[in-house]
Amino acid sequence: MTGRPELEAALEAVLFVAADPVPRQRLLDLFDEGDREEAAQALEAVLARYAPAEGRGVAAEEVAGGVRLVTRPELAPYLRRFFEAAGESKLSVAALETLAIVAYRQPITAPEIQELRSVNPAAVLKTLLERRMVRITGRKEVVGKPFLYGTTREFLMHFGLNHVRDLPPLEELEEALRDG
Amino acid sequence: MTGRPELEAALEAVLFVAADPVPRQRLLDLFDEGDREEAAQALEAVLARYAPAEGRGVAAEEVAGGVRLVTRPELAPYLRRFFEAAGESKLSVAALETLAIVAYRQPITAPEIQELRSVNPAAVLKTLLERRMVRITGRKEVVGKPFLYGTTREFLMHFGLNHVRDLPPLEELEEALRDG
Amino acid sequence: MSESLLPPGWKVHLPVFEGPLDLLLHLVKVNQVEITDIPVATICDQFHEYLRLMEELNLDIAGEYIYEASLLIHLKSKMLLPRPATVEGEPAEDPRQELVERLLEYRRLKAAAQTLAETDRLRLGVFTRKPQPRPGPEEGEEIELGEVSLFDLLGAFKQVLVRYDREHPPPFLVSPEVWSVRAQFERYLGELSPSRPFDLLADLRRRSGRAEAIAAFLAVLELARLNLVRLHQTEAGEVLLYRTTRDWSRADIEAVGA
């Protein structure tokens, strides 16, 4: 049996070194069978320790089916200054519109995207593929077998989503837009 | 004037992201002149927060003229286990290239793969066999009767394809993503 | 194209649209009308006016705009026709229906894009620790297997081919006359005998390259045409050459192009 403090310490250390979100189960699998129940509680305790709070710079987030530690967005100016990072988005309006179409209507083909935006999406899709926001998920079984596109884990991570179904419903967004 | 909680949060965030030791002065330079005295105190508070303690996996250490956050050495076995498990679900560039060669040139022998990559593919093929991306499809009727390798059902499912002939030719993707 | 009213090099800031649907949404907004009740004639004219302006400014007009403009003209003409009689009081289908649906869907997706843009801006301020080098022998960059897509696979294959070509530059071209068909013709005459089978494929493989192999192959065809060799294919797929009993003469060699 591993003591509770060691379980918590190990979990914190692993979350600290893991750059990518780690699925909960993978964290628990680090321990012996007999310790997993206790480890699950230890994990919740560690995550509670990293709840966003005043004076704290790091917080735990659930994203892309896992948990990870990230800096809190309010601190962006300090981090940008220190790491000399640019704060500008690399996604153009065209890229964001195409990404939204892929995200909400996936899996979707290029001709179907063109139908929705009335603009040839080839160049933008290439950018999104290169930036790993979008991936080819297969081919559609219609004439010409066009590629099907969907979003990636990178997309979920970047937009802080746990799953594609966590995207806000389109209807809600439109209402917010009408009110605004 | 920046509030004490914000100073502490910013310092914690920067220490978290920076992998290398940061000189104290560089940390304090993040803030306006008027805030530096307070920031120095905030830094001590953050470092105290990361004093080695039971149940904590991360600690602050002073090295070579700077401070940094590191995992506590006692937890190394857990980290090793974590990285090993993480490695199992990853593909190196060598493995990906070899997989691509097998996919596009199947059935193909190890010497033929070596001809294309100039590297003995034995170790990488073993990995790909273990990941069930590649299988032995037979033997080539030449001297030494080397094994022939091809892709698996799992490979097709992973890439959303029904058949090996659905693999896009090099030009197809380029054409699909060419504008206009 | 109409003559530009502006001096050459003059730049005017024209609102930039993300395509014809974006322009249409803009026109709906500035005209303060509902998407569901678009005054087609007005919108159609303004759409064309915008294209005309772009033309005047020597801006490239994407084909998508021209296509949409033609759809609008078609719709405008349809609106002028009397609607077919309604069945049992049901309202006849509005010819604008399809356009309305496209615009509503596009507006929804634009709202989604705006939300993504806001999240994108916010999330750019979220930092994670850089991936630490993993202890162990594994070298170089790695990709999560679950994340590898066709795009990566193709990219990897292209990489292999590019590197292969770089490491295997094509051999210096041998001047073609060195591998004349006639020289190959003479070589075969010297090597073949009526009693001993001669493995053609093995012989072709021994040639220095494609150019010589082609010359050799053409020579064999000439030899067969002049009835100087007999070709025999075995069940195993080998091609065997035998010299026939016919004697060759200088004229035979001279009949072969150099």
Where residue B125 falls among pLDDT bands split at 50, 70, 90?
very high
| pLDDT score, position C132 | 65
The more confident residue out of A75 and C130 is A75
Percentage, residues of chain B above pLDDT 70: 99
Where residue A100 falls among pLDDT bands split at 50, 70, 90?
very high
CA distance C9 to chain A (A): 27
Work out the average pLDDT over C125-148: 72
Where residue C224 falls among pLDDT bands split at 50, 70, 90?
confident
pLDDT tens across B56-93, in order? 999 999 887 899 999 999 999 999 999 888 888 888 89
Whether the upstream peptide bond of residue C137 has omega within 30° of 0, thus cis, is: no
| pLDDT score, position C3 | 46
Alpha-carbon distance of B37 to B45, in angstroms, equals 13
Mean pLDDT, chain C, rounded, equals 82
What φ, ψ does residue A26 adopt, rounded to 5°? -65, -35
| pLDDT score, position A74 | 93
CA distance A177 to chain B (A): 32
| Chain A residues whose beta carbon lies within 8 Å of the beta carbon of residue B56 | 8-9, 12
Q: Which of A174, A108, A93, A118 is nearest to C108 (CA)?
A: A174
Percentage, residues of chain C above pLDDT 90: 26
For the cut 70, the answer to whether the pLDDT of residue B7 exceeds it is: yes
Percent of chain A as helix, strand, coil, to the nearest 5: 55, 15, 30
| pLDDT score, position B176 | 79
Most confident of A152-156, B161-165, B168-172, C153-157: A152-156
The more confident residue out of C86 and C168 is C168
B160 touches chain A (CB under 8 A): yes
| pLDDT score, position C13 | 58
Residue type, C81: L
Report helix angle B4-17 to A76-83, nearest 10: 50
β-bridge mates for residue C86, sequence order: none
Most confident of A175-179, C128-132, C220-224: C220-224
pTM over 0.95: no
Please, which residues 51-90 of chain A have a Cβ atom closer than 8 Å to chain B?
54-58, 69, 71-72, 74-75, 78-79, 81-83
pLDDT tens across C57-81, in order? 777 777 889 999 999 999 999 888 8
Contact A67, A22 (CB under 8 A): yes
Q: Which chains touch B (3 or more CB pairs under 8 A)?
A: A, C
For the cut 50, the answer to whether the pLDDT of residue C245 exceeds it is: yes
| Chain C residues whose beta carbon lies within 8 Å of the beta carbon of residue B19 | 129-130, 132
What φ, ψ does residue A64 adopt, rounded to 5°? 50, 40
| Cβ contact C132–B19 (<8 Å) | yes
pLDDT tens across C29-42, in order? 999 999 999 999 99
SS3 call for A50: coil
| pLDDT score, position B53 | 92
Contact B135, B119 (CB under 8 A): no
| Cβ contact B9–A81 (<8 Å) | no
How would DSSP label each residue in chain C?
A: -PPPSS-TT--------SSHHHHHHHHHHHTT--GGG--HHHHHHHHHHHHHHHHHTTPPPPHHHHHHHHHHHHHHHHHHSPPPPPSTTPPPPPTTHHHHHHHHHHHHHHHHHHHHHHHHHHHTT---PPPPPPSSS--S-EEEGGG--HHHHHHHHHHHHHHHHHHSPPPPPPPGGGG-HHHHHHHHHHH--SSS-EEHHHHHHTSSSHHHHHHHHHHHHHHHHTTSEEEEE-TTS-EEEEE-SPPP-HHHHHHS--
| pLDDT score, position C176 | 52
Number of inter-chain CB pairs under 8 A, B vs C: 86
Alpha-carbon distance of B75 to A53, in angstroms, equals 26
Alpha-carbon distance of A32 to A2, in angstroms, equals 9
| Cβ contact B85–A10 (<8 Å) | no
Work out the average pLDDT over C145-154: 84
pLDDT tens across A64-74, in order? 999 999 999 99
Where residue C114 falls among pLDDT bands split at 50, 70, 90?
very high
pLDDT tens across C175-211, in order? 555 678 888 888 898 888 888 888 888 888 888 778 8
For the cut 50, the answer to whether the pLDDT of residue B135 exceeds it is: yes
Q: Which of B147, B164, B144, B165 is nearest to B156 (CA)?
A: B164
Alpha-carbon distance of C108 to C113, in angstroms, equals 9
